[in-house]
Amino acid sequence: MKRIALLVIIAILLLLFAAAVGAYKMNRFMDATVSLPDDGATFVIAPGSSFATVSADLVAQGIIDDDFWYRLYARQSGEASGIQAGEYKLAAGATPRSLLEQFTRGSVRLYSFTIVEGWNHRDLLKALHNNETIAATMTEEDWPAFLESLDAPVTHPEGLFLPETYRFPRNTSDRQLLTQAYELMQEVLAEEWQARSESTPVGSPYEVLVLASIVEKETARADERPRIAGVLARRLEKRMRLQMDPTVIYGIGPAFDGNLTRKHLQTDTPYNTYTRGGLPPTPIAMPGRAAINAVLNPAEGDELYFVATGLGDGSHKFSATKDEHDAAVAEYLKRLRQNRRGGR
């Protein structure tokens, strides 16, 4: 009996020793640096992949030498079932343990897409479709149904999506990004509307987008946005036609070739603010938060006109009277002719 007991004790000790050695080897493997280039590597886990498939792919790509200890650790810890599909950026210096944490957290690689102030809805959809990391599902014909799905109060997409930089994983759809941009625009509009000045001429958040889109297209200078918003506000209050070239250009549409003519200014469209009073029926571009803020907080003053200076810095000359404006226009045309002669 003593001999049998001794053998049992020895067997238990051997098992404990083997377990200790195994645990040591497993932890050494889990904390060893994997093989990655200095700039890291991209690793994709396909939807529905098992952990065995993931570990085998790591071996196949030379990131780890063997996956025995990896599969054993993941199974014992219960983390094997928690991995999430996606595209991952694996950083140099990573370990099998840190990779497993990354896979179970779903810390996938994120890409950026920027909606630029002043884009129209055609520009936006084209840019989305030209981005290989975004899944294209939308066409121009889909806008009305898509806006209805957002419970938008209008059927025209112009001006509804906030210019901002958005971060997303690969294969995010255009609809998902547009939904995010629409919801963010609604948040910004609500915040800015609550803090609006009494001097703003607009009567609704949608009118803010219309007027802000004109400001956005008229200037890229932060110091001029409130002044241009002030000019537009006073012209509306005095029932003067806005007479803004960007609205005419928007009404021409894709056929516009970059040369705005007198005939264009005289040809009536719903967007021609030379032939029609009040605001255009919709925004003409995507306005940024700064333009929205300018419309809701227009600069005070008596200026009713503005024209480009031609100085090459995007600045404008503001005037209170038609005579002053005509003189500013003449000065601009003179400078334009001089610049053209100088460029020959």
Q: Residues 212-254: pLDDT tens digits? A: 999 999 999 999 999 999 999 999 999 999 999 999 999 999 9
Q: Residues 66-94: pLDDT tens digits? A: 888 888 888 888 888 889 999 999 999 99
Q: Are 274 and 243 in contact (CB under 8 A)?
A: yes
Closest listed residue to residue 300, CA positions, set 214, 199, 223, 202: 199
Range of lowest pLDDT (146-150, 301-305, 334-338)? 334-338
Q: What is the DSSP letter of 115?
A: P
Mean pLDDT on 105-122: 95
Cα 21–Cα 23–Cα 26 angle in degrees, nearest 5? 110
For residue 43, the cross-strand partners are 88
Q: What is the DSSP letter of 68?
A: H
Domains of the chain in start order, with CATH, are 26-77+85-108 (3.30.1490), 110-229+284-299 (no CATH)
Most distant CA pair in the chain: distance in Å? 120
3-state secondary structure of 265: helix
Does residue 318 surpass a pLDDT of 60? yes
Report the distance separating Cα 140 and Cα 144, nearest Å.
Answer: 9
Cα 93–Cα 97–Cα 102 angle in degrees, nearest 5? 80
Mean pLDDT on 102-118: 94
Structure tokens at 7: 């053998």
Confidence (pTM): 0.84
Structure tokens at 309: 């200076």
